[in-house]
Amino acid sequence: MTNERRWREVDDYFAATIVAADRALGEALAANAAAGLPSIDVSAPQGKLLHLLAKMSGARRALEIGTLGGYSTIWLASALPEDGRLITLEWSARHAEVARHNVDRAGLGGRVEIRQGAALETLPKIEAEGLGPFDFVFIDADKENNPAYLEWALRLSRPGTAIVVDNVVRGGEVADARSRDPDVVGIRRMFDLIAREPRLSATAIQTVGAKGWDGFALALVR
């Protein structure tokens, strides 16, 4: 049996035993597939991890960069109190439309605002509208812009804000200083920023599972 198959089986086992993904989450994945969206959402155990981290940090206001069909959005928004708010940023109009339906079907439409456009254009507007600071930020869009997204996350944060960044391992290439892959370069620059930033305390964790070998970074604003 390949490692990948085993990793998927273990994720399936966790999903079936303790993760408790509700019907709306399964329906969101089905709607994403029907609409032809790529299957690059977080896995169910990872989504539940985001949900628990948001709850543990007592988040009321959350920001997500990279919505896709709203699968992680639903996990995060369902961790917020009823009067909480999640703003999620998505470049693709098609993805944003599918996400809107998924979030509404999950009964979370009142808590979630989807802003369509390039995040580097929508983030300044969010700041100008005074919508920060956010208690929880999830960065999961185009990886080459991760340094800028991290800087925006800091601008829109307060002491105690948790920042999570997905897909930081790149098949191990993140450890290769000579890589010219723009995604890897973006992630390494983001880690350089984190390392130099006295306001952040951070770590990164490698993961295996249904989505293969990957990992996430977690930073806390001091």
Ligand X SMILES: C[S@@+](CC[C@H](N)C(=O)[O-])C[C@H]1O[C@@H](n2cnc3c(N)ncnc32)[C@H](O)[C@@H]1O
* Residue 115-134 contact track with ligand X, rule CB under 6 A, x = bound: ---xx---------------
Cβ atoms of 70 and 99 within 8 Å: the answer is yes
Binding status of residue 142 toward ligand X by CB under 6 A: yes
**Closest separation in Å from C-beta 143 to ligand X:** 9
The torsion angles phi and psi of 201, rounded to 5 degrees, stand at -115, 125
| Sites for ligand X among residues 70-89 (CB under 6 A) | 71-72, 89
Beta bridge partners of 137: 63, 163
The pairs formed by 58-61 with CB atoms below 8 angstroms and a separation of 24 or more are: 58/135, 59/84, 59/134, 59/135, 59/136, 59/162, 60/84, 60/85, 60/135, 61/85, 61/86, 61/131, 61/132, 61/133, 61/134, 61/135, 61/136
Q: Which is nearer to ligand X, 73 or 196 (CB)?
A: 73
**Closest separation in Å from C-beta 159 to ligand X:** 26
CA 11 to CA 189: how far, in whole Å? 31
**Closest separation in Å from C-beta 211 to ligand X:** 9
Binding status of residue 212 toward ligand X by CB under 6 A: no
* Residue 15-54 contact track with ligand X, rule CB under 6 A, x = bound: -------------------------xxx------------
Chain residue whose CB lies nearest ligand X: 41
| Six token digits for residue 181 | 């892959």
The per-residue b/e assignment along 138-158, b for 16 or more CB within 10 angstroms, e otherwise, is: bbbbbbbbbbbbbebbbebbe
Binding status of residue 90 toward ligand X by CB under 6 A: yes
Q: Which is nearer to ligand X, 36 or 198 (CB)?
A: 36
Which span sits near ligand X by CB under 6 A: 65-73, 124-132, 150-158, 179-187? Answer: 65-73
Footprint on this chain of ligand X (rule: CB under 6 A): 40-42, 66-68, 71-72, 89-92, 95, 118-119, 140-142
